[in-house]
Amino acid sequence: MTLADDAIAWYSVNARDLPWRQPDTTPWGVLVSEVMLQQTPVVRVEPAWRSWMTRWPVPAALADDPPSEAIRMWGRLGYPRRAMRLHACAVAIVERHGGRVPSDLDELLALPGVGTYTGRAVATFAYGQRHPVVDTNVRRVVCRAVEGRPDAGPATTAADLVAMSELLPADEATAAKASIAFMELGAIVCTARAPKCVDCPFHDVCAWRLTGQPLPEGPSRKPQRYAGTDRQVRGLLLEVLRHATGPVPRQRLDLVWQDEVQRARALAGLVEDGLVESLGANDFVLAGDAPRGDIQSLL
């Protein structure tokens, strides 16, 4: 038995019942889930994913709406540029691929905002292909079980892709199952701070456990502060614009945050990121909400 075999056997019994893993989930549903799950826990993503797929079950449905609707539907998931990326992806999929999410990895990677992880995840989980799909959870499992180290560090490297590829079975369908199994194992058993080693299918062979070494002190990544940051201010500004029925005057936005310098910086960042458009100097709307003839775009 290989690590991949053990992981697949464990997954078949212990996998979480998530909607984007159902047999009838489309490649578009997988792509949406992967973008939503970036830096966002499953418990928050699941209801948002269901709402999104109900409204926009295919890329063409989203592409037909302005990007402002994607931002509104994104709600408070955080990092709302992901909503813009999904809208841009939908438009590109319609224009380049006839409305179907491509199965070719290079074509996936060429979509707006689709990076190394997301492209491989869609090719693997939606189309059953053999690719190393490496996120934080996978890196941690491989680092511990194979290399005997407790922590893989903060960023994915080419070496991580090679290490994962070496663990995948040659058969594409089996490799795809192994990829999701390794990921699930890292998410619910081989966790960063409280691994459940007694429940792990690698318990008897895990190189890190066999060393008897303790976990490192402190997290491998410094926790990101939210309160008082520009991210919080951006979120408050977007919340006003999401619920507006027309242009929002600067004076209304001035009410959401007391620090004038930080507020102006956050608003300028939203405009620069393409999430917000300015109408003249003092009125603002979500991207796509302004009449085309009235936009003074700062994109």
- CA pair distance 93, 112, nearest whole angstrom: 10
- The one catalytic residue in 34, 69, 184, 277 is 34
Q: Active-site residue 34, yes or no?
A: yes
Dihedral of alpha carbons 184, 43, 135, 56, sign: positive
Structure tokens at 110: 């060429």
Cα pseudo-dihedral 69, 70, 76, 78, rounded to 10: -150
Strand positions, DSSP E, the chain: 248-249, 276-279, 283-286
Neighbours of 13 (CB within 10 A): 7
- CA pair distance 264, 295, nearest whole angstrom: 19
CA angle 237, 240, 242 (to 5 degrees): 105
Structure tokens at 176: 């795809």
- CA pair distance 100, 72, nearest whole angstrom: 24
Neighbours of 101 (CB within 10 A): 24
User: Which class for 143: exposed (0-12), middle (13-18), buried (19 or more C-beta within 10 A)?
Assistant: buried
Tell me the β-bridge partners of 284. 248, 278
- CA pair distance 29, 163, nearest whole angstrom: 28
Task: Tell me the catalytic residues.
Answer: 34
